[in-house]
Amino acid sequence: MNVMISGGGTGGHIYPALAFARYIRRLHPEASIVYVGSEDGLEADIVPREGLQLETVKISGFKRKLSAHNVRTVVRFVKAVKQARRYIRTHQPDVVIGTGGYVAGPVVYAAAKEGVPSIVHEQNSVPGLTNKFLSRYADRIALSFEEASSYFPGKETMLTGNPRASEVLKARGASPLPDLGLSPEKRTVLVVGGSRGARPINEAVTEALPDCAGRDWQMLYVTGEVHFDEVNQVVEEAGRPENVAVHPFLYNMPEVLAHVDVVCARAGATTLAELMALGLPAILIPSPYVTNNHQEKNARALEEAGAALVSREEEFNGKRLLEQVEQILNTPAIWERMHQNALDVAVTDANERLYELASALQANDKK
């Protein structure tokens, strides 16, 4: 099976794509896998590290009101479609899979124009604009949340789950915590603001820092590249507590997740899929700056399942962070209940389901 994958902008679109690419490589080492991304997106750094061929197009998103920016976006989209069609003719994929982000738009659209079967993978409970647009042209829609099916009327959907969930289960091994400056013996709280970081979470952590020292648990804080220097300076001023480690980014997040006990994070779909697969109790602060407030809807679904504590940005601070961490870690019954509830709602065979869907499209196309 030869596959073309496209998704970008944030890790939430990139990591599911890479997880599926790795799955294909394990099944078919001889397969051609080409990733089409944006030249200035995170994928430009992350994808080559995976040893995958990266092709790029130049694309941007629409603003919600008429503007000169939108005119430029239309022009870029047309050019990107032409470039994507050239990539498809060159690489001859059997199937094209879009995992979201603006860059997936011209690629999946080009696949439809070239007569190549395509799949849109929607990670969130509320689809983004790109995937809504692409649903008119894609052959199938793969979902991570069943609730998203109502946004694709008349389209054939399939609940596959998120490929990243399948992958984190295979990442258990020696603890990476010593390499990050922490003890493998202590209970660990991972705080992460997403691939680009999140200022409100940074502020809560820095507020809580003076009270972290001396706790019988430790904190691993991933700031995001743009916030690292600022947060690191605050940690230095707080005396750099021995039980707190600060890093700008982690490339081995699945391995780290397998060795932590609680996660405090945004509520991106890929993050939630990973937490559910591992049964990790979560403290969630959804980003309000996303389309249709989909992160809060993602988070509330996990909260209703009893696997997460959810706070809006304006409610979250250092005091609440510490209270919630202590509540979960110091009451074994609460930790165990949240752990089991997360496992109960997890979909952990996403790669297998997505591969089954892609194979069916390939077989049908060759009849």
- Which amino acids are annotated as binding site for UDP-N-acetyl-alpha-D-glucosamine, given as ranges? 10-12, 124, 195, 295
Sheet containing 118-122, strands listed edge to edge, beginning at the edge strand earlier in sequence:
53-57, 33-38, 3-6, 95-98, 118-122, 140-143, 157-159
Q: How many helices (H) and strands (E) does the chain have?
A: 14, 13
Angstrom distance (rounded) from CA 316 to CA 346: 26
Kind and range of the H or E element at 142? strand 140-143
Angstrom distance (rounded) from CA 37 to CA 25: 19
CA–chain centroid gap for 343, Å, is: 18
Angstrom distance (rounded) from CA 88 to CA 96: 9
What 323-330 contacts at long range (C-beta under 8 Å, 24+ apart), as own/partner pairs, is 324/264, 324/283, 325/189, 325/217, 325/262, 325/264, 325/283, 328/262, 328/281, 328/283, 329/187, 329/189, 329/217, 329/261, 329/262
Kind and range of the H or E element at 54? strand 53-57
Contact 20, 163 (CB under 8 A): yes
Angstrom distance (rounded) from CA 54 to CA 71: 27
The pair of structure tokens assigned to 91 is 């690489």
* Cα–Cα–Cα angle for 10, 198, 205, rounded to 5 degrees: 140
Contact 271, 12 (CB under 8 A): yes
